[in-house]
């Protein structure tokens, strides 16, 4: 949660950097005669670096890394058009990653590693040295869906499972990405033997580019996951230094005291795996996101046989996916969606536009198959969709029949009733291709009554509003819109209750630590495990940063490590601290007032009437009285300072600020951000 501070508190020191920036901007742009000393001069120099501080809020540590206060302060709010320009997604369209070669090289390296691992890693878990414990520390993914990252630690060795990002909420103005606080990993960087990734979804790999700037252990992932990471790293210009090893399901990697076996499971992205992580304490199964699909579109059913085998050999702990624990029954097979596409494509004489999650390779494959079946050409639009298509066809996860694809530039040359366009935007994302089509901003596609738009996705909680906005707009343009709420066009990638029960039944874990879920889901999952006969004393519903200690016959939470979230402004500015975020929220909610006071260096008196500039507060022309009053309050504050012989600028500024703030609150019930600036002459 964004810290909700009273806007009147903490402002003084918080805004000093802002003030300097404003002062600088005013001095330059406003043509105000400024002396080459004092405040203005100070502002031109390097802004004072505030020390990062930690703040506890609702049990989470919000790490403040306020490097950017001055960088953002002087800027005016961007218009939507400007935002679009700056969006890193659009800006960083780099050249394609040369995935193939690197994957091959990495596969070789991993093969060797696996050989080594195979010899050492298998076999019964022995009990470790006396007192040695397995420590499991989730740094994300508990109490939330997003930024999954779990640390496993045995003596001097650490491995990390997943490295995901989260998504900002509405209060996080200008924040594009949320990543876990990894200060614990930074402190222990030398002990990290590897980062193991379950699959290529953003909530499992999205933080890698940010994390690799701080630590650089080897990364182990299956081929598709590795391919997706490489695209990401290429965009962030980090591919060269990254050590990515490609691993196949069935292989085992030795990493310090751990051996990590990759086990094939099903999910809404191809090449997803669960891990059997063996340390001297025992074997832990970390499922990652999973479902059990007995008729998957490509590949095999989840390797339940192997999971059952491990269960028979003895599983110390199970750390499963809790996403769909509230949903009864089994989750449906991906192939079911194909039949729906068949119906919708069959007698359609309109252009078909389909959106789905870009990462769902199997879904896209099915759309292409039915397009080909009915003699349609397929155009792909949207950056993430294009990326996935490239990687998955290069790596052989997708097979596109000859001559089916047509570039978007040439799509208009195909008759509309022979066209299928696959696009991003299933969540109504503002920059996505579907959004641009709906709002007539897409280069090649204008929506009208000749379109059937199929939304083959469910809303990720929190996105309902943006999706319905797009659907409304598409209807308004005359299109026929078929969406999941009225037609079954989507199946979940996560196991429902019966599948979750099956996972417990197969693995027969001694200890149970539900992962990947909001708090209520974790508790529901704990309850489910109890129903399945897991000893309630052996179940731990944990939280991020908690240290869970396991021995062969005990489990307990013991202490905490720093954990929380880091907010990243994707425009390249970097991390956004809570101070910056608070400023943005404050500006958005209340607006801003800049008070410029030109004062004499010699006697500290006001040289001319104070100047007041407001943004987002009141409309000046209609508020002359209020402006006049504000000038009066400022003037009186300065006079009272003179009378009390207060001469230092910062005391004068804080006096002006508190008087003006008090006046405005009393008369308008608003608390705009107030930035007093003194210009010395």
Minimum distance from CB of 554 to Zn ion (Å)? 29
Minimum distance from CB of 291 to Zn ion (Å)? 10
- Residue of 289, 451, 473, 680 that binds Zn ion (CB under 5 A): 289
Nearer to Zn ion, 64 or 211 (CB): 211
Nearer to Zn ion, 543 or 574 (CB): 543
Residue 363 makes contact with Zn ion by CB under 5 A: no
Nearer to Zn ion, 152 or 290 (CB): 290
Residue 162 makes contact with Zn ion by CB under 5 A: no
Instruction: Determine the Cα–Cα distance for residues 427 and 102; give it in Å rounded to an integer.
Output: 32
Stretch 18-57: interaction string toward Zn ion, x if CB under 5 A: ----------------------------------------
Cross-strand partners of 135: 153, 549
Minimum distance from CB of 162 to Zn ion (Å)? 8
Looking at 282-290, 361-369, 500-508, 601-609, which segment touches Zn ion (CB under 5 A)?
282-290
- Structure tokens that stand for 643 in this block: 């009378």
Minimum distance from CB of 393 to Zn ion (Å)? 21
Q: Are 566 and 211 in contact (CB under 8 A)?
A: no
Instruction: Determine the Cα–Cα distance for residues 453 and 451; give it in Å rounded to an integer.
Output: 6
Residue 201 makes contact with Zn ion by CB under 5 A: yes
Q: Are 421 and 368 in contact (CB under 8 A)?
A: no
Outline where 425-463 has alpha helix (H): 433-438
Residue 203 makes contact with Zn ion by CB under 5 A: yes
Looking at 124-132, 289-297, 470-478, 668-676, which segment touches Zn ion (CB under 5 A)?
289-297
Nearer to Zn ion, 360 or 659 (CB): 360
Looking at 51-59, 99-107, 197-205, 583-591, which segment touches Zn ion (CB under 5 A)?
197-205
Nearer to Zn ion, 193 or 201 (CB): 201
Cβ count near 237 (within 10 Å):
11
**How many H helices and E strands in the chain?**
22, 27
- Structure tokens that stand for 185 in this block: 């990993």
Q: Are 415 and 348 in contact (CB under 8 A)?
A: no
Residue 436 makes contact with Zn ion by CB under 5 A: no
b or e along 73-97 (b: 16 or more beta carbons within 10 Å of the residue's beta carbon)? bbeeeeeeeeebeebebeeeeeeeb
Looking at 23-31, 203-211, 362-370, 578-586, which segment touches Zn ion (CB under 5 A)?
203-211
Minimum distance from CB of 225 to Zn ion (Å)? 11
Q: Please count the residues of this chain forming the interface with Zn ion, following the rule CB under 5 A.
A: 3
652-660 CB contacts, 8 Å cutoff, 24+ apart: 652/597, 652/599, 652/604, 652/676, 652/678, 653/19, 653/677, 653/678, 654/12, 656/595, 656/597, 657/11, 657/12, 657/595, 658/8, 659/633, 659/634, 660/593, 660/595, 660/630, 660/633, 660/634
Looking at 4-12, 42-50, 281-289, 667-675, which segment touches Zn ion (CB under 5 A)?
281-289
Nearer to Zn ion, 63 or 201 (CB): 201
Instruction: Determine the Cα–Cα distance for residues 371 and 580; give it in Å rounded to an integer.
Output: 48
Looking at 130-138, 286-294, 450-458, 623-631, which segment touches Zn ion (CB under 5 A)?
286-294
Minimum distance from CB of 164 to Zn ion (Å)? 7
Measure the CA angle with vertex 204, ends 200 and 205; round to 5°: 65
Minimum distance from CB of 598 to Zn ion (Å)? 57
Q: What is the CA radius of gyration of the chain?
A: 29
Looking at 70-78, 187-195, 196-204, 532-540, which segment touches Zn ion (CB under 5 A)?
196-204
CA atoms within 13 A of residue 198's CA, in its CB half-sphere: 30
Q: Which residues bind Zn ion (CB under 5 A)?
A: 201, 203, 289
């Amino acid at each position: 949660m964004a810290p909700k501070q009273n806007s009147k508190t903490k402002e003084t020191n918080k805004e000093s950097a802002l003030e300097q920036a404003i002062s600088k901007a005013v001095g330059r742009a406003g043509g105000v005669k400024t002396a080459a000393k004092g405040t203005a001069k100070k502002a031109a120099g390097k802004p004072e670096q505030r020390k990062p501080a930690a703040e506890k809020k609702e049990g989470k540590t919000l790490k403040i890394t306020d490097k950017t206060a001055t960088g953002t302060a002087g800027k005016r709010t961007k218009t939507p058009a400007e935002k679009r320009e700056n969006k890193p997604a659009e800006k960083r369209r780099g050249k394609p990653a040369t995935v193939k070669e690197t994957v091959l090289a990495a596969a070789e390296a991993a093969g060797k590693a696996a050989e080594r691992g195979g010899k050492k890693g298998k076999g019964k878990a022995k009990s470790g040295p006396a007192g040695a414990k397995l420590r499991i520390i989730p740094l994300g993914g508990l109490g939330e869906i997003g930024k999954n990252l779990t640390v496993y630690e045995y003596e001097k060795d650490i491995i990390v499972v997943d490295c995901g990002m989260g998504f900002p909420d509405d209060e996080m103005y200008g924040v594009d990405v949320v990543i876990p606080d990894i200060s614990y990993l930074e402190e222990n960087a030398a002990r990290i033997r590897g980062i193991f990734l379950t699959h290529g979804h953003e909530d499992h790999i999205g933080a890698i580019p940010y994390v690799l700037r701080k630590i650089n252990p080897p990364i182990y992932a299956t081929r598709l996951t590795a391919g997706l990471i490489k695209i990401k790293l290429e965009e962030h210009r980090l591919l060269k230094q990254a050590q990515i090893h490609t691993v196949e399901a069935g292989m085992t990697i030795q990493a310090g005291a751990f051996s990590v076996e990759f086990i094939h499971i099903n999910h809404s992205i191809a090449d997803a795996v669960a891990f059997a992580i063996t340390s001297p304490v025992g074997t832990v199964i970390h499922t990652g996101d999973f479902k059990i699909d007995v008729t998957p579109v490509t590949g095999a059913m989840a390797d339940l046989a192997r999971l059952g085998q491990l269960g028979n050999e003895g599983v110390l702990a199970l750390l499963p996916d809790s996403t769909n624990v509230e949903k009864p029954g089994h989750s449906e097979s991906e192939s079911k969606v194909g039949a729906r596409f068949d119906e919708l494509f069959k007698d359609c004489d309109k252009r078909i536009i389909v959106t789905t999650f870009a990462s769902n390779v199997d879904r896209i494959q099915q759309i292409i198959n039915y397009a080909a079946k009915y003699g349609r050409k397929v155009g792909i639009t949207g950056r993430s969709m294009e990326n996935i298509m490239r990687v998955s066809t290069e790596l052989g996860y997708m097979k596109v029949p000859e001559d089916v694809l047509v570039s978007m530039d040439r799509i208009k040359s195909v008759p509309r009733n022979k066209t299928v366009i696959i696009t991003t935007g299933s969540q109504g994302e503002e920059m996505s291709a579907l959004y641009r089509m709906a709002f007539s901003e897409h280069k090649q596609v204008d929506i009208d009554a000749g379109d059937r738009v199929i939304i083959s996705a469910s809303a990720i909680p929190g996105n309902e509003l943006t999706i319905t906005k797009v659907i409304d707009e598409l209807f308004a343009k005359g299109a026929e819109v078929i969406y999941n709420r009225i037609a079954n066009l989507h199946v979940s990638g996560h196991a429902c209750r019966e599948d979750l029960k099956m996972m417990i039944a197969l693995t027969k874990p001694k200890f149970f630590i539900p992962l990947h879920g909001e708090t209520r889901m974790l508790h529901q999952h704990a309850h489910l495990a109890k129903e399945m006969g897991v000893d309630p004393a052996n179940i731990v519903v944990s939280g991020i940063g908690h240290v869970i200690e396991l021995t062969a016959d005990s489990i307990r939470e013991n202490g905490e490590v720093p954990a929380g979230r880091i907010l990243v402004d994707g425009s390249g500015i970097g991390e956004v601290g809570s101070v910056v975020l608070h400023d943005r929220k404050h500006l958005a909610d209340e607006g801003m007032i800049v008070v410029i006071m030109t004062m004499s260096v010699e006697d500290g008196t006001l040289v001319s009437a104070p100047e007041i500039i407001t943004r987002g507060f009141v409309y000046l022309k209609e508020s002359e009285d209020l402006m006049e009053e504000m000038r009066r309050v400022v003037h009186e504050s300065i006079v009272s300072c003179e009378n009390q012989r207060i001469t230092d600028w910062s005391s004068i500024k804080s006096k002006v600020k508190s008087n003006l703030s008090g006046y405005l609150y009393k008369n308008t019930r608003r608390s705009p951000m107030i930035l007093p600036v003194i210009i010395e002459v």
